[in-house]
Each structure stands twice: as structure tokens, then as C-alpha cells.
Structure 1
Amino acid sequence: MNTPLNGIRVLDLSRILAGPWAGQLLADLGADVIKVENPKAGDDTRQWGPPYLKNSDNQDTSEAAYFLSANRGKRSIAVDITQAEGQALIQKLAAHVDIVIENYKVDGLKKYGLDYASLSALNPKLIYCSITGFGQTGPYRARAGYDFMIQGMGGLMSITGEADGNPGAGPQKVGVAVTDVFTGLYATIAIQGALIERQASGLGQHIDMALFDVQAAVLANQASNYLVGGITPQRMGNAHPNIVPYQAFASKDGHIILAVGNDGQFKKFCDLAGCPELALDARFATNPSRVANRLVLCEHIATLIKQRNSEDWLAALEQKGVPCGPINTIDKVFNDPQLLSRDMRIQVEHPLAGSVELAGNPIRYSRSQLNQTKAPPLLGEDTETVLRDLLGLGADEIDQLTLKKIVR
């Protein structure tokens, strides 16, 4: 296949979500990603269910939906890195790969001889990406870090949820582990940057990724509202701190999102809603004035939106070019004709279930292809193949390692 990362090989020592997300994206882009797992139970997320994948008899398999979400396209080898022979296998494999991804605690792999210093001595071209809660330096470096706590520490929960004084007020986490996902994306970008740099230098390097850093970075305009404007952002429910009207409103039979991004769109909305005078009112004519008079304007808009059904509003607003949308449940998302037309719901063969449905990769190239044909692997599915093909081990040697429970 004409994939962007064809010929690149990755050793993925990571678990849970941030590291595996980066590994899955690299696999989608064509890299050969070898996932190293604990022979006893594998990646923690294999047990993070229900739900579990169903087999042809509609019975639960051992494959949790969570694991399936982040490990497409990889090969799995089960190696006990706590034992010297297991460590030796990983060290030998590191000489045959371009990239290592790991998310152990700081210095957690040093005692096994699998840290950057040890492996780069064996392979100077190795790009080694470490993902931790707080990074390799700083006063918090030794702390464990998980998405939920980083959403709290990193400010995201302080701006997510209803404002104080409103029903249901209080900090809320996002419904997806977005800090992990963002960290996986940043890690992938960093790895590809290091691959390009290696073409000139001939050397690999260590990449230090921290969930806390990433969460601060993706605060985006909210970070600038504080750093530039000196304003500490607060929870505002579905409202936007810098744009009005840009939030959810209750309709006669549900809710819609009204996302007015400029003054022209606001005028179109007012004309459509039968209140053109609002667009001429000095309190609402420009976005800064609408932000300053947010409460009175949104109360008026809320009354208007409540008078018609969601479907009526969405059809009329779309026809006039006013940005709007429904609030879909996930089942509606994955049955949306637009999403289906973009191949965002894919089906791949699976050894236990016959096939498994997954969310597709959103990248679209004009010439290159993605590789999304291999299902997330069973635990140790590829141990024998990898040890034979990359390290030249014979069947007897692999059998001995299996008997000693070094591999599975």
C-alpha cells in the first residue's frame, strides 16, 4: 500500500490510551507497530469492560471495547520484561525498530535496561517517546498522572460544566479522555518531526511528552483569555466566552446549537427569526457588544427558539447559511449519512468475532493511503512471528521461552 510511513517500525511499550493512541495512528499511517504486552493479562484496557466484543454465538469474548478503540493495526507480542531474558528480547528488538513508545513512570524502565539511554546505545538512530503525567523534569516528575486528574489539575474542569448558581453547577470532566487523546496526537506529531530531522542528522532522540503540559497547551483561547487579557475563565455551560450567540438553546421539542460566528450571520438569524431590529440595536450590532450584553440577548433568543421545533429551526437556519446543528447521541452520529459517506465507520476481520466495527481514521490524502485493515490483536497473537522474523529465533528457542513464561 502507498502509506506515508511504509517501512517504519515501532515498538509500542505503552498501555491504556495516550501511548496506544499514538501507536494506532502510526499504524494507520502504515508503520509496522509491535505492541509489547504483559503475558499474564496484557494491556490493562483488555479488561476494561463491559462491553466486550461478541463472538458469532453472541457471547462475550475477552476483548473489551475500550481496548479495541486504541489498538487497531498493531501486532501483539507478550513478553515478560521483569525477567532478564525478556529484557534481552526487547533490547534486541530495539535494534530493529525506528521508534519506541512507552508510558511508564519516570525512570520506570531504567531498572530493566529499557530506558532511552540504554536502548539508544544499541541503536543511535532510535526515536524514543516517553509519555508521563508530568514529564521527565520538574517537581512533579515522580507523580503518576491519569486523564481525569489532569483534566482537573490542568484547568479543563474549571471551564466545563454549568456556571455557579445554575442547576447542576459544578466542575465536570469531558465525556472522553481528551487529555490522553490529545497527548497521543501531540506524540505522533513529535515522532514524525523527529523522523524528518533524522534524515539530516542520522540520529534519533528522546521525546518527553507530559499530559499536564498538553492539557495546558490545548486550553487554546481560554489560556490566552488569561495570559493576554488577565481574565480567569469560568464555567459557562454551553456558552462561549468570546462569541455570542454561540451555545445550545432549548427548542419546542429538544435542543439545537446556534453558532453565530460574525455580524453578518447574526443579521441573517435575526431576519429569519422575525426580529431584524435586534441586528440594528447598538447593544447587539457587533460581537463585542453582544458579549457585553450576553444575558439580555440570550434570554430573548431563548424565547424565540422555544417557539419552534428543532427540525424546523435547523432546516431554516441551514438554508440561510447560519451555522447550527443538532445534539446527537452517539448512535445517531455513527448512522449519519455524512459520516457514512466519509468511511468513518469501518469493519475489519477479527479472529474471535468474524469481524469488528470501529471508528475510522479521519485523515484523507489525495495520493497516499491509510492502512486500517488489521483488527486490534489478540494477546500475544504475533509473538512467534516477530521473534522468528526479526530476531531469527527457531521454534525450539521460542518453545523454551514459552515454557519459562518469558513469552506467550
Structure 2
Amino acid sequence: MDRPLEGFRILEVAQFTYVPAAGAVLADWGADIVKVEHAEKGDPQRGLVRVLGHTAGREGSSFSPIMEGPNRSKRSIGLDLSNPAGRPVLEELIRRSDVFLTNYLPAVRTKLAITVDDVRAINPNIVYVTGSGFGNEGPDSERGAYDATGFWARGGSADGVMGEGADSMAFMPAGAYGDNIGGMTIAGGIAAALLGRERSGKPSEVDVSLLGVGAWATQFTVNLALSSGGPLPKVKRKKTAAAGNPLTGSYRTSDGRWLQFSMLQPVRFWNEFVTAIGLERLVDDPRYATMEGIFADADQLGELFADAIAARTYDEWIADLAGLSGPWAPVQNSWDVGNDTALIENGRIVDIVDADGVNQKLVANPVKFDGRPVRMKRAPQFAEHTDDILRELGLDDDQLIELKVSGAVT
């Protein structure tokens, strides 16, 4: 069963990436996702032309990665939730859905009559899911958030990657970084809620906050700080090896790229490692037969290893270290990741055809079922499936025209 959610219907009333990313994962897993977009404006993310200094799309192409990633394989209906004429459409969609998924703030949900009580009055068996900034309880429940604020800054990641005395704040390594991690978390919560409903007959109310996801991601240091009774002191980071163990940490190649090593058992990998980087004279060196011996000379060894690795290029090291059994990895850029053989061979980079008929590629969610590739389609154009969805609900052409004239649908 490579599409375990096939037959489940998700009604997504959400925008930008955080909650829509959850819908994308569920679509990868086989669910039918109907995305409700504002009848006039659509998802505001469609209007973004630059993201973190990068152009969001290519001129002359309908393909926009920031829309395709979190919205692939969905159907889009343009529906004005504030227009009374469109309310029967929304209610029929709710009746036919297993999950109601939204990232609207509580006050907006109340205004639009899409609170859990409103939705459950229409479909008592529906799983109701919110993706929030700071949770649905407490003083910040009405505050909106993006991943840069709720996940990255307030959740501890930004501080965690900054060294002592940093003169600038480190930003996320990619756009929608926390959104995509959070979306995966929401998808897991929905899958658990559907399983629980199948077993108990009772639908759940699920909330996943960006702050909660951020705290989960940094829980190692958060838990350590809580047990220590205060903020953790900043550890002075070296330019290359991690403190104490020169077989962990990063080393720079001759062409300015980097390799990351994580051999937490340095004695085990010692002979293999020093041989691989051309320091055979250190094989079976009695000074480094124990972890204590390696740690005692960590600074000196780190400099020695750095010089050895700095003598060759990134591509040369990729080839020369291919057979190294100790954990290591090249520090890849986005292009490298998109062309990573392991991702491609495992079906995590998927080919699709965009709205212009051009072949494109997208990253799949990391979960694989039964060794089967993900079956994925492009994201919908704005309101692309409005007529099809309305006809599924039993509306005829005259009713469609009436709704469009009223401005309730697009």
C-alpha cells in the first residue's frame, strides 16, 4: 500500500507554506486535497516574485517552485468564504471531507464561521486541524507567525547557530525552512488522528504550532538548559573540528568548499581515516590508540587534518573518500541536493509536467511506502478546478453561473 491515505478527503483552507505543506505531504500519501483559495486574490503566495533575494519563478513560465512544492497534486477552488452565496458550497465540501485543515487565526475563523464548533455542526465526524504560530491557548493565540519568527527565532534555532559575540543574526538556510518541517509534523498528526478515528469512532482536534515545532527541533539544548537551571553558555567554536574530537567537524577543500565528518568513535576509524587523507604515517600510532590520546592532541591533529584536506579539491575528495566507512558527507548546495544520487535512486526527486507541458522536478516528502515511487502531479493553477468540484457537489451550469456572478466563486 504505497498510498495509504487514498480515499480520504482533506479540505484545506490555508495559505502560504506552513499548513499547505502538510496538504502536499498528505497528497503524496494518496489523499484528495481540495484547496480553498480566495475567489479574487487566491493564495497570497502566488503573488510573491522574490524570496530571500531569489526570483521566485522564470519569465514566461507558469512554474513557480514556491507554489509547486507545498501545493502539488491538489485541486483548487476559488471560493469567497465571506460571501453568503458561497456558504452552501463550503458546507457541502465540509460534509464530504474527513479533515478540515486551516491556518487562519481564531478571530478570523470565528468571523467566517469555520471554528471547530461551526465545522462539527456540519460534519460531526471531521478531524479539525489548525497550524498556528504559538498554539490555540494562551496570550499569543491570536498572534500570527511565519517560520522566521515562530520557529527560527523564538524556537531557539537562530540563537543555536550563532557563536559567542556574533555581530549579526543567522537566518534560516532556506525559504520556508520551518514551514516545511512543521508541515511534515502536521501531516503526521493528521495521519494519527485518522487512525484514532478509525479505531475509536471519535474525531480529534489537532493543533501544531510553529513554536512547538521549533522547540522540538532544539529540544536537546532546551532540555539541557532546563535541567541546568539557566541559559547554556556559548561554546567557542573552532573553524574546523569540533571540540575534543578532530574526526568530527568540518574541513575546507582547496577550492573553498567543505566536508563534514562525524566519526564519534575516533579510535575505531582512526587508521582508515588517516590513510584516506594521506597521513599514513599516523597509522597504528600508539599516541592515538585511545580516545584520551586523540583528545589530548585534538588541536594539533585538527590543524594537521585541515592542511591535508586543504591540499585537494572538493570533487577529488568526493571520489577519494567514497569508500570511507566512517560517517562523513560533502557540504552540498541546493543544486547538489537536487541531483543527489541517493535521493534520485530512492525516488525523493520526482519528475512532473507543469501547466505549460514542460518537464520539471520537485522534492518528494521523505516518507516512502512499500518501495514505491511517489505519484505526484503539478500544483493547480488558481481556481483551476472550481467547475469540476462544484459539479461533483451536484451543481448544474446555471447554478455555477449564478455563483460566479455573485462573486462567491471563481
Q: Which range, TM-score by smaller chain?
A: 0.7 to 0.9
In the TM superposition, residue 386 of structure 1 has moved relative to its aligned partner by 1.0
Amino acid at match of 2:291: T
For residue 182 of structure 2, give the secondary structure of its aligned residue in structure 1.
Answer: helix
1:187 aligned to 2:189?
Answer: no
Residue in 1 aligned with 2:6? 6
The range that moved more, 133-142 or 25-34, is 133-142
In the TM superposition, residue 241 of structure 1 has moved relative to its aligned partner by 7.3
Kindly provide the CA deviation profile for residues 252-279 of structure 1, in whole angstroms up to 9, marking residues without a partner as x. Answer: 2333222223121245323543353797
Amino acid at match of 2:172: V
Gaps of 5+ in 1: none
| Aligned residue among 339, 342, 345 for 1:341 | 345
| Aligned residue among 281, 284, 291 for 1:286 | 291
1:376 aligned to 2:401?
Answer: no
Kindly provide the CA deviation profile for residues 315-363 of structure 1, in whole angstroms up to 9, marking residues without a partner as x. Answer: 4433342333322332233234443333333332333344433223433
Going from structure 1 to structure 2, the CA distance change for 1:339 and 1:387 (only over 3 Å counts) comes to same
Residue in 1 aligned with 2:173? 175
% identical aligned pairs:
25
- Maintained 8 Å contact 1:244/1:287: no
- Maintained 8 Å contact 1:36/1:76: yes
Within a 5 Å distance, the mapping from 1:390-405 to structure 2 comes to 391-405=393-407
Separation in structure 1 between the aligned mates of residue 285 and residue 44 of structure 2, nearest angstrom: 55
For residue 67 of structure 1, give the secondary structure of its aligned residue in structure 2.
Answer: helix
In the TM superposition, residue 217 of structure 1 has moved relative to its aligned partner by 0.7
Residue in 2 aligned with 1:159? 160
- Maintained 8 Å contact 1:12/1:102: yes
For residue 249 of structure 1, give the secondary structure of its aligned residue in structure 2.
Answer: strand
- Maintained 8 Å contact 1:222/1:233: no
Amino acid at match of 1:104: Y
The range that moved more, 104-113 or 222-231, is 222-231
The alignment covers a number of residue pairs equal to 397
Q: TM-score, normalised by structure 2?
A: 0.86
Separation in structure 1 between the aligned mates of residue 227 and residue 286 of structure 2, nearest angstrom: 31
| Aligned residue among 259, 262, 269 for 1:259 | 262
- Maintained 8 Å contact 2:246/2:299: no
Q: TM-score, normalised by structure 1?
A: 0.87
Separation in structure 1 between the aligned mates of residue 94 and residue 40 of structure 2, nearest angstrom: 22
- Maintained 8 Å contact 2:287/2:293: no
Residue in 1 aligned with 2:67? 67
Going from structure 1 to structure 2, the CA distance change for 1:331 and 1:191 (only over 3 Å counts) comes to same
Residue in 2 aligned with 1:351? 355
In the TM superposition, residue 70 of structure 1 has moved relative to its aligned partner by 1.0
- Maintained 8 Å contact 1:159/1:171: no
Within a 5 Å distance, the mapping from 1:22-171 to structure 2 comes to 22-50=22-50, 51=55, 59-61=60-62, 63-150=63-150, 151-161=152-162, 163-164=163-164, 170-171=168-169
Going from structure 1 to structure 2, the CA distance change for 1:243 and 1:296 (only over 3 Å counts) comes to closer
Residue in 1 aligned with 2:196? 197
In the TM superposition, residue 375 of structure 1 has moved relative to its aligned partner by 1.1
The range that moved more, 201-210 or 31-40, is 201-210
In the TM superposition, residue 399 of structure 1 has moved relative to its aligned partner by 0.7
Amino acid at match of 1:4: P
